[in-house]
Amino acid sequence: MLLMLSLAHANGLTSHVTISEWAVPQLPEGELADILGDPELWPWLQNGTQFPDGGYPLGEAYAETAHWEPFQDLYLHWIAETYAGDYSSLEARQHIAFLFGMQSHGMGDQVFDSLYMQRAYVQDAESDWEGSSMDEATDVALAAATGGQETLDPFVPTDVIVPLMAEAGVEVSASTLESGQLLTAVAITYVREAGKDPATLKEYTDAFPWATTHMMGRETPGAPAWEADVVARYWQSRWGILTGEPSSLEPVLFTFPQQGGFGLATDHTAVESRLTVIFSRGLVPEVLVPDLFEVVDAEGNAYALEDPWVFYGRGSHAVHLAPVEDWPADTDFILTIHAGAHFIDGTDSTEEVIVKFSSRPPPEVADPDDPAECGCSGSAGGASAGLVVLAAGALLRRRRR
């Protein structure tokens, strides 16, 4: 139990590996999908996904460093330089899979913490947050629902990671990295077996009843299915940097509500009333000016926002925008994300992005349990065809200016 608590930082490791697994089929056809979808490379993707948490129980700084884009980009640029843009060899693809596992882990944590955990703090307010781990509880609940993840032979490409960590200012030995990776495999095993035991599962679900029972659906922003969506988009953005062919998913990967989303909560004090923007690159929050974001309704009335909350500060991708006053009910809104966001890699966003959403309830559908029939996607805000078309037209008009 102590090991698991020390490994629990945002998503648990079983959740992280499941998110990587679910993200792969969402990639468009092409070389990246071929690499990450190759069963022979899955051990590299899974071990890369597990890697960032291994140093926590050892008290090693490499764990936190491995979560974030600056270190991951050192690895990305090493791959680009080492293989000169030719990723056809098995060795190159192994490193890509390991790196993209790390990227899945880092982005997954940001999405889970900024959206799902923020809601859990409210819904499970009576839980013992100081003495228990929601991350561990939700990890076991997910394992119970999915069967958990296979325990693979743990490994780290230490010949590359050790010098890259040194370049990032973190001294760590190969043996330490290997010890940490072994602990991640132990955690995968524990959670899988815990999920099979009814008494243990009940202990966890009783500790965090809301959080452990909302992991498998799409009704809650930040749940694993949503994390996989964002991770797949983030992978495409990073692949664009690796190949020198910029992705169309710049500069914004995802928003909550989604484009054309319904059902935004109107109470400005509620977590569900926030707008969340997930950028494709880590942000420099010190220069993220409030007027980068603008919200108006269909009549052009403007709505004031609190100062942007870059959820984890410098290098984070998730930004919360809270209204100063209640949103009016049954109203359609337009969020404009202006160009000019500054990123930690030294680049700036150059394109304006427009997102349409609504506080109107989702339209009724014939069978709300049929994804093909449902345009609501729960509280995350699904899209109607009309709103999507209007938003697309507005976006095109803005980008042609």
Q: What is the pLDDT of residue 242?
A: 97
Q: What's the one-letter identity of residue 197?
A: D
The shares of helix, strand and coil residues in the chain, as percent rounded to the nearest 5, are 50, 10, 40
Q: What is the pLDDT of residue 325?
A: 98
β-sheet bridge partners, residue 357? 261, 333
Per-residue model confidence as pLDDT tens digits over 70-92: 999 999 999 999 999 999 999 99
Report the sign of the C-alpha dihedral through residues 129, 133, 134, 140, in that order.
negative
Q: What is the pLDDT of residue 267?
A: 98
What kind of fold does domain 250-399 have according to CATH? Immunoglobulin-like (2.60.40)
Q: What is the CA radius of gyration of the chain?
A: 21
Spatial separation of the C-alpha atoms in residues 295 and 302, rounded to whole Å: 6
Interhelix angle for 90-111 vs 69-83, to 10°?
160
Helix (H) or strand (E) holding 39: none
* Mean pLDDT computed over every residue of the chain: 90
311: its two tokens: 């959820």
159: its two tokens: 């010949």
Per-residue model confidence as pLDDT tens digits over 349-372: 999 999 999 999 998 865 545 433
Task: Report the half-sphere exposure of 376 (CA within 13 A, side-chain side).
Answer: 20
Q: What is the pLDDT of residue 290?
A: 79
Q: What is the pLDDT of residue 383?
A: 39
DSSP-assigned states of every residue in 221-236: TTSHHHHHHHHHHHHH
Instruction: Count the neighbouring beta carbons within 10 Å of the beta carbon of residue 189.
Output: 15
Q: What is the DSSP letter of 337?
A: E
For the cut 60, the answer to whether the pLDDT of residue 379 exceeds it is no
Say if residues 207 and 129 touch (Cβ distance below 8 Å).
no
Spatial separation of the C-alpha atoms in residues 184 and 17, rounded to whole Å: 11
Spatial separation of the C-alpha atoms in residues 384 and 373, rounded to whole Å: 11
Q: Which residues contact 167 (CB under 8 A, 6 or more apart)?
A: 74
Q: What is the mean pLDDT of residues 52-73?
A: 98
pLDDT band at residue 246 under the 50/70/90 scheme: confident
Say if residues 19 and 112 touch (Cβ distance below 8 Å).
no
Tell how far CA 359 is from the center of its chain: 25
| Residue 360 burial (C-beta neighbours within 10 Å; 0-12, 13-18, 19+) | middle
Q: Where are the domains of the chain?
A: 2-212, 250-399
Per-residue model confidence as pLDDT tens digits over 260-299: 999 999 999 999 999 999 999 999 998 887 789 999 999 9
Peptide bond into 198 cis (omega under 30): no
CA angle 308, 63, 41 (to 5 degrees): 100
- Percent of the chain surpassing pLDDT 90: 85
Q: What is the pLDDT of residue 302?
A: 97
E-state strands within 266-317: 275-279, 293-297, 302-303, 309-310
CA dihedral 55, 58, 60, 65 (to 10 degrees): 20
Q: Which residues contact 228 (CB under 8 A, 6 or more apart)?
A: 19, 20, 22, 23, 26
Q: What is the pLDDT of residue 369?
A: 54
Q: What is the mean pLDDT of residues 127-143?
A: 97
